[in-house]
Structure 1
Amino acid sequence: MANSKRIESNSLFQLYQALHLSVELFDSGECFTIFNLNEIGFELPYTSDSYRPNFFSFLFVKNGKGRYTIDEQTFEVEPHSIYFTNPSNYRTFSWTQIDDILLITFDETFLKKYIGEDVYTDFPFLLTETVRPRVVADHFFEEVAVINVEIVNEYRKNTASKYKIIGHLLAVLLFKIREHIWVDYNPIYEGNRSSQIVISFKRILEQHYRDLSLGKADLAFRVQDYANALHLHPNYLSSVIKSKTGKNITAWIAEKTLTEAKSLLQNEDMTIKEISYRLGFSETSHFSNFFKKYEKTSPILYRKSHHS
C-alpha cells in the first residue's frame, strides 16, 4: 500500500526493483528508458509506495487512467494527456486502467551528455514545480507519437550510436512540447514570485545561520544537508536554485558563510580555529583562504581592524 515505506531511487530500474515490478525491458547502458506500461504487468488497481526519483519522466497516456500524488497535490491522469514529472519531492502513483501509456524517463546526466550543457536554458520547463497533466489535441498527440515510435525503435536496437540518435530525437520531442505547452514558461519569474523550493531554501538558509550565530547549531550545512531538509536530490536542488535565481547554491551558501564569519570574528571570545570549525572548514587554512578570496584580507587582520 502507498506510504508504507519511502524509497530513494537513482533510476527507474532501481525504483521498479524496490516496488517488485518487472525490469525485463530495461537497458542499463544509460539512464534512459522508454516502454509501454501495459508491458510491465501491473496488477490493477495498483498503488505504489512513496518514492523520490532522481530522474525526469513523461507519460503519454493514449488510453488509461490513474493518479499521481506529490506532497498534498493529487493529479488525475486521463486519456490523451501528457504528464511530466521531475526529480523533486516524494510521490506515489496509482493505476486503475492501463491500455496504452508510454513512459519515457531520463536523468540530468543523459540530458547534458546527449543534448547539451545548456539544457535548462533550452528547456526551462524541466524545472517547473507544479505540473498538472495536460490533455492535448488529437493532432498534437499524434505528432509526438510519431517521434516516440522512432525513439522506441532506436531503443530496441543494439548499435553504437543508439543513444546519440535517441538524444537528438528526445531534443526534438522536448522542443515540440515546449512550444505547445510551455512556450511562455520562465523559471526566473517563478523563482522570484512563487517558487516553493527557492522560498524554502532561503528560509532554511537564514534560519540555519541564525542558529549558528546563537550557538544552537554546531556546523554549517552542506548542499546535501539542504537537499535532505527539502527532501530533494542535491543535483536537482542545485539546478533549481541556479536556474530560478541566477546564482548557484554554493554562491548562496558562500555569501551567508562570509556574513556569519565577519560576525563571529567580531566576537573575541571565539578563536579563529573555533570559527573555522563551526563554519564547516576542516582546516583553519581553508577558512583563511576562503575569507581572503572574498574580503582581500585575512581573518586575523579583519579582526584586528574591527577592534582597532
Structure 2
Amino acid sequence: MPTVETLEAFYQKKLAWVPANLQSELGHFNIFKREEICSTSKPAPYSRRDYYKISLMIGDNRFHYADKSLEIRGSALLFANPQVPYQVESLSDQSGFFCIFTESFMNRSWGTRLTDLPVFRPGGHPIFLLDEERTRIVTEVFMRMQTEIASEYAYKYDALRNYVLELIHFAQKAEPVTTHYQHANASVRISTMFVELLERQFPIESPQQQVRLRKASDFAGQLSVHVNHLNRALKEVTGKTTTILIAERLVQEAKALLRHTDWNVSEVAYGLGFEEPAHFNNFFRKHTKMRPTEFRVV
C-alpha cells in the first residue's frame, strides 16, 4: 500500500521547514511555483496526500491514477483530492504553479463537500488540457493568488478561497482529458484505489455512522470501471474476488465492534450497512461459524 503524504511531510521534504500554524482550525492554504518544487530526476512516489491540490502543469508529464495513465504534452490543469493516490512523472523542464489546501480551509465559506464536485470526485476525470489562451487565464489566477497571499490584506484568505473557486468553475466548464492508456501496473493501481476507498469507511466510531460502499458495483461506480474489470484486477493482485475482500473487511470491523464496544447487535448491523439485524446475523455466522452474541462472550 502506498503511504499517505501529510502536509507536514510535504513541507519537510520539499522545503525542510514546517509552518507553525499548519494545524490551525482555520485550515491551511499555500501556493508554489512548480519549477521550484518539482523534480524531473526523482518523481514523487505513487501515493495519496491528505490535502487537496490544484496544479497548472506547463511541460511534458505522465500522470498515473487508479488504473489509468495519461501522457500530457504542453499545459494542463490537475485537480488532486485526498482519496485518490496518484503520481506525476515530469518528462521535461517544468513551469507553472500549484496550490495546496485542506477541506477545512474551503469549508469556512463553502457548504458543499469538495469531493462532491466533478473535478474532485473519486472516479472522475481530474485533468484538463489547456490551449494558449486558457493557459494565460489560469496563470493570471495563480499570479493573483501569489500576490494576495503575500499581502497584508485582513481578508486575504477569503479572496484566496474565491480564486480557488474560480479555478474549479473554470475547469468544470471545460472538457476533461478522457483518453487513457493502460499502464503496466494497471491492476496494482486499481487494487490500491479499491483498498483506499474500502479503508476510508473505517473505523466506525458511532452508532450513527454507516458504511455506504458495500457491493462490488458500488466500488466499480466510484472508480468508473466495469464491475468485471474491477474483479479481474483484484483477482490478479490479491487472488480474491471483490465480494470476498469486502466481506472480510466487514467481518473484521464487526469483530472489533462486538469486542470493543457496548453497542447492541442492531447498532453494529446498522453501522456495517445491514438494514435488518437478521441479515447481519446470517452474514456473520456464514463467515465465522458463530452468531454475533456468541462471539461477544468468547
Query: Which range, TM-score by smaller chain?
Result: 0.5 to 0.7
Evaluate the alpha carbon distance shift between residue 158 and residue 221 of structure 1 in structure 2; reply closer, same or farther with a 3 A threshold. Answer: farther
The CA deviation at 1:36 is: 0.8
**Retained in 1: the 8 A contact 2:11–2:17?**
no
The residue number in structure 1 matching 2:76 is 81
Aligned residue number for residue 56 of structure 1: 52
Give the one of 6, 10, 14 matched to 1:10: 6
Within-5 A mapping of 1:85-234? 85-120=80-115, 123-131=117-125, 133-181=127-175, 194-196=221-223, 203=243, 207-208=247-248, 212=251, 219-220=254-255
Name the CA shift for 1:196/1:257 in 2 (closer, same or farther; >3 Å): farther
Deviation at 1:34, TM superposition (A): 1.4
Q: TM-score, normalised by structure 2?
A: 0.59
Q: Deviations over 1:154-188 (max 9, x none)?
A: 12234442212111221122112111236xxxxxx
Assess, with a 3 A threshold, how the Cα gap between structure 1 residues 51 and 270 changes in structure 2: closer, same or farther. Answer: closer
Give TM-score, length-normalised by structure 1. Answer: 0.57
Structure 1 residue 152, shift from structure 2 partner: 1.5
Q: Give secondary structure in 2 for the equivalent of 1:93.
A: strand
- In 1, Cα distance between equivalents of 2:68 and 2:285: 47
User: Does residue 35 of structure 1 match 2:29?
Assistant: no
Which of these residues, 18, 22, 32, is aligned with residue 15 of structure 2? 22
Bigger Rg, structure 1 or 2: 1
Query: Which moved further from structure 2: 20-29 or 99-108?
Result: 20-29
What is the CA-CA distance between 1:44 and the residue it aligns to? Answer: 3.6
Gaps of 5+ in 2: 177-216, 231-241, 258-268
The answer to whether the Cα contact below 8 Å between 1:7 and 1:52 also exists between their aligned partners in 2 is: yes
Q: Aligned AA for 2:14?
A: L
Q: Which consecutive unaligned segments of at least 5 residues does structure 1 have?
A: 183-189, 223-249, 279-308
Mapped to 2, the partners of 1:265 and 1:90 lie a distance apart of 32
The 1:67–1:22 alpha-carbon spacing in structure 2 relative to 1, beyond 3 Å, is farther
Contact 2:120 2:126 in 1 (8 A): no
Q: Give 1:196's aligned amino acid.
A: L
Contact 1:261 1:275 in 2 (8 A): no
Whole-Å separation in 1 of the counterparts to 2:243 and 2:89 = 33
Show CA shifts across 1:75-95 (max 9, x none).
Answer: 223222222222234433322
Residue 74 of structure 1: how far off its partner (Å): 2.7
Cα distance in 2 for residues equivalent to 1:99 and 1:264: 53
* Alignment-derived partner of residue 290 in structure 1: none
Name the CA shift for 1:44/1:263 in 2 (closer, same or farther; >3 Å).
Answer: closer
Q: Secondary structure at the match of 1:75?
A: strand
Q: 2:274 aligns with which of 245, 255, 269?
A: 255
CA deviation after TM superposition for structure 1 residue 102, in Å:
1.0
Structure 1 residues 43, 147: CA separation in 2 closer, same or farther (over 3 Å shift)?
closer
Distance apart, 1:219 and its partner CA? 3.6
Shift in alpha-carbon separation, 1:112–1:257, aligned structure 2, 3 A: farther
- Judging by fraction of residues, say which structure has more helix: 1
Change (3 A) 1:34 1:270: same
Q: In the aligned structure 2, how far is the partner of 1:169 from the partner of 1:128? A: 23
Q: Cα deviation per residue 1:245-267 (whole Å; 9 max; x = unaligned)?
A: xxxxx967242673444548999
Residues 152, 277 of structure 1: alpha-carbon distance in 2 compared, 3 angstrom cutoff = farther
Q: CA deviation at 1:37?
A: 1.3
| Deviations 1:64-119, CA, capped at 9 Å, x for gaps | 22223234433223222222222234433322333422112223222222323455
Q: In the aligned structure 2, how far is the partner of 1:256 from the partner of 1:208? A: 19
Instruction: Tell me how far apart the structure 2 counterparts of residues 120 and 90 of structure 1 sit (CA, whole Å).
Output: 14
Cα 1:53–1:173 change in 2 (3 A) is: same
Q: Is the 8 A contact 2:63 2:89 kept in 1?
A: yes
Identity of paired residues, percent? 13
